[in-house]
Amino acid sequence: MTADCLFCKMVTGAIKPDTVYEDSDVLAFKDINPQAPVHVLVVPKKHISTLNEFDTGNIDLIGKMFLAAGKIARDTGVAEAGYRTVINCNAGAGQSVFHVHLHVLGGRTMNWPPG
Ligand code: 5GP
Ligand code: ZN
């Protein structure tokens, strides 16, 4: 928990997100500015600022985030048609909230390469 972190406040309930999935390790909620019909953010409950801060001590969390993403994709009906998972790492990749999060995007055709 980091006091001034937006996503930590969602984990503690100080700010109530539109939650779509939760377990003991991760929280998933709808993005406030969706870029696709399905746009969910999966965050670890533990504060980790960027993908660069993952190491062997917390590697299990990455797997749990992706398992949650797969479940969300199935539950929202986009798993078969296709969906995209994205982690933006640091400002050059567009990261704007420094509590690591996995974007789950689906419900429309995705272009490649991303911008
Ligand atoms: P990033 O740019 O760091 O990869 O993604 C941050 C995401 O957080 C953006 O897609 C943005 O729309 C979303 N976001 C920012 N503030 C809020 C908020 O207060 N609530 C929710 N649900 N999403 C937010
Ligand atoms: Zn945080």
6-106 CATH: 3.30.428.10
2: confidence class by pLDDT, cuts 50, 70, 90: confident
Catalytic status, residue 47 = no
- Per-residue pLDDT of 75-105, as tens digits, reads 999 999 999 999 999 999 999 999 999 999 9
Task: Give the pTM.
Answer: 0.98
Mutation pick for ligand 1 pocket among 9, 31, 87, 100 (CB with most ligand atoms within 8 Å): 31
Amino acid sitting at position 58: N
Task: Report the 10 Å Cβ neighbour count for 62.
Answer: 16
Give yes or no for residue 109 CB within 6 A of ligand 1: no
In this structure, the residue with its CA closest to atom 20 of ligand 1 is 32
Task: Report the 10 Å Cβ neighbour count for 21.
Answer: 16
Hey, where are the domains in the chain?
6-106
